[in-house]
A and B are shown apart, each in its own frame.
Chain A
């Protein structure tokens, strides 16, 4: 069946490594999204699966068949492109049936399949139109019909919605999910839009610098990011990061301290540099934090800029003594900044002194140097206590 396995797939160009030892195992019928910033190697990865690019190294298996060096036409795949790529000199029927005609299917079979495919994507009555007579959304549907008509083992989609307008994009997103349910075929989807990745996928593969950072269901990527990159990339607006140093009682950052028992964390010693991560929705105003079971100590801050979004308000907080709005927003000064999301009915104003707390259960800790996640909570279950860490703790300097 349509299981896709990448083993140590590497693609090197003259001076850059686009994909570095990618290992992926995608189950039959799964919807997996490759997501990452521009130039991270996600499209190259998809091209190696498609056969449009031959990897420098590694092995690709589709449906229990090694395809590493096979041409695209022999891989049992279909692809939808970002720029849609309908053949402009053919009408819709010819576009959809192109692959079937190349494979010498009988005429009745082609007609039957084209009818069914155009039915699924709701293109009835448009089969004799030319691509330039259609709207962007209709063209995208023709491209999808062209992909499903061959009944491939795997669908590859390279940012298929990127060129559509925002409203149509949201609509096509649900269409694609419906299609996936209906066809039950493996889909590998590439996007740089983490919202698309979150909403559609069974699993997300976050890629950066040609390397796989994490592959997990969307909510796992969101709640338990494997490292700083995933934590910062998944979620909008991005997670807050504050660098600090481990003390005997917790983490000390330039502007506030967070208490926890470092002995509970394996491999963490006093003096280690950790990065605290907390999502905007896990930052609360002190007087509204009754619902939070385990708040941190309150952190004094001053509100800077408010961004009312309608369903919530994003509040930029400045912490610490130097609570001056910094016009030069370089990353060094923005470490004083904390983004908070509050409900729209809170009467918060700009330039106001407030006290905020963090939800201890949802504070993440990362190793500042390697970026790896250490913990996704400060409330450790009793069973997780690491007794061996008491020795290293003693070595830590203050």
Chain B
């Protein structure tokens, strides 16, 4: 296409001719098109958030295309924290995420050990049953769980504890919902650790449980990291239970979703702050993913496990 020697043909026709001769060109072009499409759909929302965050709220109504900020107002990133205690909402989300991840990793490790390393009748069906839990729509659980966590259910004269507005009302359902996937991931990884290593650890002085935490888990670090990161991100991004299990105040363990919505009053909508808060809220997870991804990739490429 660089040479214009044949003037009877347009540039496009010449490109088509050469593409027929060497189809790799088409594949490369398709790759770029698809990649640009995904980059656009992934990154444009961030750009749009940045535009909104930098535009003063008074000027936020109309944008041309491509959208550019109507003004420059970086103060929004400070006002995010002064208007509402957004840092407390973030802290709440972190605590919920870390608590859930810890619960899930400990329990899923035990289950993963059993499913990955032991043989017992009914293993396959039981694994399917556990996985089925994660296919249930969370909405199916919300009303009974809400009644349970607000002390409205009593069994033998003992009423259920009031967990509304506490972290437990979210950590418990999160753990239950995100556990099956982690069990599945970990049982696959734990199942690949050679029996000899566990035997050696037990001979050297650990119990089965000790061998799990001292030898099998460290050797399955990529799997544990994968399960942990997936759980943390799922909790951090969770909307449904986070929205319904607290009344929305920062000191009632309301997570980020409530923080963002609290810029919206009955008469004012601080869209610029909502956008800025969204960016601030995404950053920690983005950093976590980048760091963890490197760890996961390095763990996976370290080669097959040798005894």
Nearest residue (CB) in B for A82 is B196
Is the CB of A167 closer than 8 A to any CB of chain B? no
Q: Tell which of B199, B205, B207, B306 touches A103, judged by Cβ atoms closer than 8 Å.
A: B205
Contacts of A388 in B (CB 8 A): none
Q: How far is the CA of A73 from the CA of B203 in the complex (A)?
A: 5
A selection of 18 A-B contacts at a CB cut-off of 8 Å is A71-B202, A71-B207, A78-B204, A79-B199, A81-B200, A85-B196, A85-B199, A85-B307, A87-B200, A87-B201, A87-B215, A87-B219, A88-B219, A98-B204, A98-B205, A102-B204, A102-B206, A131-B306
Which of B196, B202, B205, B215 has the most chain A CB within a 10 Å cutoff?
Answer: B205
Q: How far is the CA of A81 from the CA of B203 in the complex (A)?
A: 11
Contacts of A195 in B (CB 8 A): none
Q: Tell which of B196, B202, B306 touches A73, judged by Cβ atoms closer than 8 Å.
A: B202
Is the CB of B305 closer than 8 A to any CB of chain A? yes
The reply to whether B205 and A102 form a contact with Cβ atoms under 8 Å apart is: yes
Kindly identify, within residues 87 to 141 of chain A, every residue whose CB is under 8 Å from any CB belonging to chain B.
Answer: 87-89, 98-99, 102-103, 131-132
The reply to whether B197 and A87 form a contact with Cβ atoms under 8 Å apart is: yes
Which of B197, B203, B210, B307 has the most chain A CB within a 10 Å cutoff?
Answer: B203
Is the CB of B218 closer than 8 A to any CB of chain A? yes
Q: Tell which of B203, B215, B218, B219 touches A72, judged by Cβ atoms closer than 8 Å.
A: B203
Q: How far is the CA of A99 from the CA of B205 in the complex (A)?
A: 6
Q: How far is the CA of A315 from the CA of B219 in the complex (A)?
A: 54
Which 5 A-B pairs give the minimum distances between C-beta atoms?
Answer: A85-B196, A99-B204, A85-B200, A102-B205, A73-B205
Which of A50, A83, A85, A146 has the most chain B CB within a 10 Å cutoff?
Answer: A85
Contacts of B215 in A (CB 8 A): 87, 89
The reply to whether B204 and A73 form a contact with Cβ atoms under 8 Å apart is: yes
Mark A residues whose CB is within 8 Å of B: 50-52, 71-73, 77-79, 81-89, 98-99, 102-103, 131-132, 146, 150
B interface majority secondary structure: helix
Contacts of B207 in A (CB 8 A): 71, 73
Is the CB of B194 closer than 8 A to any CB of chain A? yes
Kindly identify, within residues 191 to 224 of chain B, every residue whose CB is under 8 Å from any CB belonging to chain A.
Answer: 194, 196-197, 199-207, 210, 215, 218-219
The reply to whether B204 and A146 form a contact with Cβ atoms under 8 Å apart is: yes
Interface 1/0s, chain B 289-307, versus A by CB < 8 A? 0000000000000000111
The reply to whether A79 and B203 form a contact with Cβ atoms under 8 Å apart is: yes
Q: How far is the CA of A290 from the CA of B200 in the complex (A)?
A: 57
The reply to whether A52 and B203 form a contact with Cβ atoms under 8 Å apart is: yes
Kindly identify, within residues 145 to 165 of chain B, every residue whose CB is under 8 Å from any CB belonging to chain A.
Answer: none
Task: Using known A-B contacts A71-B207, A81-B196, A83-B194, determine if residue A88 contacts B305 with beta carbons closer than 8 Å.
Answer: yes
Nearest residue (CB) in B for A73 is B205
Contacts of A86 in B (CB 8 A): 200, 307
Which of A102, A131, A146, A150 has the most chain B CB within a 10 Å cutoff?
Answer: A102
Interface 1/0s, chain B 74-102, versus A by CB < 8 A? 00000000000000000000000000000
Measured between C-beta atoms, what is the minimum distance from A1 to chain B in Å? 20
Q: How far is the CA of A87 from the CA of B204 in the complex (A)?
A: 11
Q: Tell which of A52, A131, A150 touches B199, judged by Cβ atoms closer than 8 Å.
A: A52
Contacts of B306 in A (CB 8 A): 88, 131-132
The reply to whether B307 and A73 form a contact with Cβ atoms under 8 Å apart is: no
Q: How far is the CA of A78 from the CA of B205 in the complex (A)?
A: 10
Task: Using known A-B contacts A81-B199, A85-B194, determine if residue A73 contacts B206 with beta carbons closer than 8 Å.
Answer: yes
The reply to whether B203 and A88 form a contact with Cβ atoms under 8 Å apart is: no
Seed contacts A83-B194, A88-B305; 4 additional CB < 8 Å A-B pairs:
A78-B203, A85-B199, A87-B219, A102-B206
Q: How far is the CA of A103 from the CA of B219 in the complex (A)?
A: 22
Measured between C-beta atoms, what is the minimum distance from B121 to chain A in Å? 10
Measured between C-beta atoms, what is the minimum distance from B85 to chain A in Å? 42
Q: Tell which of A82, A85, A103 touches B197, judged by Cβ atoms closer than 8 Å.
A: A85
Contacts of B200 in A (CB 8 A): 79, 81, 85-87
Kindly identify, within residues 40 to 99 of chain B, every residue whose CB is under 8 Å from any CB belonging to chain A.
Answer: none
Measured between C-beta atoms, what is the minimum distance from A51 to chain B in Å? 8
Kindly identify, within residues 201 to 260 of chain B, every residue whose CB is under 8 Å from any CB belonging to chain A.
Answer: 201-207, 210, 215, 218-219
Contacts of A87 in B (CB 8 A): 197, 200-201, 215, 219
Task: Using known A-B contacts A85-B196, A87-B215, A89-B219, determine if residue A77 contacts B203 with beta carbons closer than 8 Å.
Answer: yes
Contacts of B196 in A (CB 8 A): 81-85
The reply to whether B206 and A88 form a contact with Cβ atoms under 8 Å apart is: no
Q: How far is the CA of A140 from the CA of B197 in the complex (A)?
A: 14
Measured between C-beta atoms, what is the minimum distance from A45 to chain B in Å? 15
Contacts of A78 in B (CB 8 A): 203-204
Contacts of A79 in B (CB 8 A): 199-200, 203
Contacts of A50 in B (CB 8 A): 199, 203
Q: How far is the CA of A61 from the CA of B307 in the complex (A)?
A: 31
Q: How far is the CA of A51 from the CA of B200 in the complex (A)?
A: 12
Contacts of B219 in A (CB 8 A): 87-89
Q: How far is the CA of A99 from the CA of B200 in the complex (A)?
A: 10
Q: How far is the CA of A85 from the CA of B199 in the complex (A)?
A: 8
Q: How far is the CA of A253 from the CA of B304 in the complex (A)?
A: 58
Q: How far is the CA of A224 from the CA of B33 in the complex (A)?
A: 82
Contacts of A89 in B (CB 8 A): 215, 218-219
Contacts of A150 in B (CB 8 A): 204
Measured between C-beta atoms, what is the minimum distance from A83 to chain B in Å? 5
Measured between C-beta atoms, what is the minimum distance from B205 to chain A in Å? 4
Q: How far is the CA of A131 from the CA of B303 in the complex (A)?
A: 14
Measured between C-beta atoms, what is the minimum distance from A372 to chain B in Å? 37
